Amino acid sequence: MRRPTHELDCGNSGTTMRLVAGLASSSPFETVLRGDASLAARPMERVAKPLRAMGADVTTEDGHPPLTIRGAELRGIRFEPEVPSAQVKSAVLLAALAAEGTTTVAERIPTRDHTERLFVALGAPIRSDGADLVLEGPFQHEGLRGVIPGDPSSAAFLLGAAALTRGNITIIGVSLNPTRLRFLDVLGRMGLEVEIDVEGSELGEPFGSMHLAPGGALRPVHVDAN
């Protein structure tokens, strides 16, 4: 019997494509994920490979979209990303929710941790073991209600614009996740001081406001990979 096929146009969002790939890897139907011309050039084998190891049938076109995913019964794996990627890590963890056994993600370089924070808030059996993330599956959470804070990466552009114009800006309702705020260290080295005020937490994510007051002359800095 032929499986039903569901298609999703992810536009230019590699994040959407990789996360949905993790969710679809255990579904009892075929999923085809497409995108625009820019997304068609993005590498997708880095997410397809671990999902295959978990038991899903995932195909790409020479390593690029579209992705065709035929879900299956999944098993836990130990995954050591070759390239640091929060998107790939999250895809594996989303698949692990439906997998039998233990899934371990061993990151050499820590990446942003939105997914882990959300899982903890929902009661998922996930824990840190040194540099490893360990999830015992399968796990099904209950229904939830939550608010997604504003994106710190988008806030960075507004802070940069205010700094260039010697302006004054306060951004409210933005995520203050520490794994997303290293750019504030760079701004500080440039002579700018951004005040942050944590006002609460939403599904494990601290949120609040960022405030930049008019400053003096900007200093040049060197920003390396670290």
Q: Cis before residue 28, ω within 30 degrees of 0? A: no
pLDDT of 31-44, one tens digit each?
999 999 999 999 99
Q: Does domain 5-137 have CATH number 3.60.9.10?
A: no
* pLDDT on residue 2: 61
pLDDT of 174-219, one tens digit each?
999 999 999 999 999 999 989 999 999 999 999 999 999 887 789 9
> Which residues on neighbouring strands pair with residue 202, listed in sequence order?
205
Question: Between vectors from CA 39 to CA 98 and to CA 186, what angle results, nearest 5°?
Answer: 90
Output phi, psi for 172, to 5 deg.
-110, 155
* pLDDT on residue 144: 84
Query: Which band of pLDDT confidence, cut at 50, 70 and 90, is reported for residue 222?
Result: very high
What is the C-alpha to C-alpha distance for residues 145 and 161, in angstroms, rounded to an integer? 34
Catalytic residue among 129, 185, 197, 224: 224
User: Catalytic site residue 224?
Assistant: yes
Question: Between vectors from CA 110 to CA 46 and to CA 85, what angle results, nearest 5°?
Answer: 20
Mean pLDDT (the chain) is 93
* pLDDT on residue 1: 52
* pLDDT on residue 216: 75
List the chain domain ranges: 5-137, 152-212
pLDDT of 45-80, one tens digit each?
999 999 999 999 999 999 999 999 999 999 999 999
pLDDT of 76-132, one tens digit each?
999 999 999 999 999 999 999 999 999 999 998 889 999 999 999 999 999 999 889
pLDDT greater at residue 146 or residue 97: 97
What is the C-alpha to C-alpha distance for residues 226 and 224, in angstroms, rounded to an integer? 6
Q: Please, are residues 195 and 167 in contact by the beta-carbon 8 Å criterion?
A: no
